[in-house]
Every structure is written in C-alpha cells, then in structure tokens.
Amino acid sequence: MATWILTGDLTNFRINVERGFDPIGFKERRRNQALEFEPGDEVVFYVTGVQAFGGIARVRSDMFEDRTPIWPQGKKKHPEPYPWRVHGEPVLVLDEAEFVPAESLVGELDHISKWPLEHWHLAFQGQLRTISDADAEVLRSAGRLYSDLTQILRLCVSGRFKPDTAGVDLLRVMARAGDAPDFSSLQARVKETQTEVRRVFTAVVEGR
C-alpha cells in the first residue's frame, strides 16, 4: 500500500469532501503516476492557499479515465479536466479551522532538507508524490488524534477551550480519547506528536 500527497485548492478539496472523495481526480499530465494507484492506497490532501493539510482518503479502485466536469475549470486557456481518476472514500477529514499548517513543519522533514531553508517551498512543487510508510503512519495517527480531540471540544465547549477552567470530567474524557492516563500526559503527547508531525508531514505548497 502506498501513501500519496495530493495538492489542490480549497474549492476542489471541499468538492472532494462533499462527494465523499468519489472520485479523486488527477491532472492530465499525471497519467503515469495515476496508473500506479491501487485499491488500499491512501491520499493525504494538501490545500493550497491556506497551505495546510485537510484530510486523508482511501483508494477503492484502479485508475480510469473520465472527463465529466466535476471541479471548476477556471479561466485557463486549456481547462484542466482531471481526467485520470480513482474511486475513493474518506478516512479522515479535518474541519477547516483544524487544518495542519505546512509552514510549521519547515526544518523538520528529511524531504525538505534537499533544498535551502529559505526556498523550502520548492520541495513541494507538483501535484502528486508518495511518502514513506513510516511518515504515512505518523500522519494518520496525528490526524486521528487531532480529529478525536476536536470532536470532543465541539460537543462540550461553546467557546475557547481553557484547561484551567475546564471541568475535571471533560479533562478526563479528553485524556481517555488521547489514550493518556491524565490530561497532563495528554498535553505531553500532543506536544510530542506535533514535533513528530513537523518531522514527517510532507505535501505540496504550489500546485502546477
């Protein structure tokens, strides 16, 4: 099973979410890469403009060609139909307010180290690329942790979450969701997770 980074703008990502990632489309010139997709592969979505990671989907089919318009064509001289497609399904979808920003990861990824620090964005040019199994597992685990905690806060807190004034029961529920013995341990785990994510989270900043 391979894990891929796919870059696209927020409008396209929202459409993908609304459709349950069925299908996922790739640019005209990405046919050879699209042919490599297999059922069970996972796709991590990087959202341009906001420069952050928004979700993960699982591939359910081999590549097929379909030029039915789904995503906006814009005012391009040569509209992009994203003709190479796979059927997919959601694995993890973060709220837009909880997207993971890419800039915070600069300096931590082996992939980025190939470029001068001031030109880190060059490491992520292109629509599609794979990441290692180890990096993919870190991303999946981190994403699920953030998603679980966000869901609890959405249900239990109407304003800004403040640990110092939160009830003991809420802190206990959050710790349990994070598989931690207590809230202090959860805070430490979140900090460690953020450090690990910075090391491995890879994506594409500018789609071409």
In the prediction, which pLDDT does 109 show? 53
In Å, how far from its chain's centre is CA 156?
25
Q: Domain limits at 51?
A: 3-131
In a domain, 202, yes or no: no
> Of 114, 131, 148, which residue sits at a domain end?
131
User: pTM for the whole thing?
Assistant: 0.71
In a domain, 208, yes or no: no
Contacts of 118 (CB under 8 A, 6+ apart): none
CATH number at residue 76: 3.10.590.10
In the prediction, which pLDDT does 80 show? 87
Counting as low any pLDDT under 50, the low residues of the chain are 200-208
Residues 153 and 87 in one domain: no
Distance CA 143, CA 194 (A): 10
In the prediction, which pLDDT does 201 show? 47
Burial of 69 (0-12, 13-18, 19+ CB in 10 A): exposed
> Of 80, 112, 131, which residue sits at a domain end?
131
In the prediction, which pLDDT does 161 show? 77
> Of 80, 101, 131, which residue sits at a domain end?
131
In a domain, 201, yes or no: no
In the prediction, which pLDDT does 177 show? 80
Both tokens assigned to 115? 């470029």
In the prediction, which pLDDT does 74 show? 66
| Main-chain phi, psi angles of 85, to 5 degrees | -130, 160
In the prediction, which pLDDT does 131 show? 76
Residues 37 and 69 in one domain: yes
Total domains present in the chain: 2
In a domain, 200, yes or no: no
In a domain, 37, yes or no: yes
In the prediction, which pLDDT does 66 show? 97
Distance CA 15, CA 10 (A): 9
In the prediction, which pLDDT does 10 show? 94
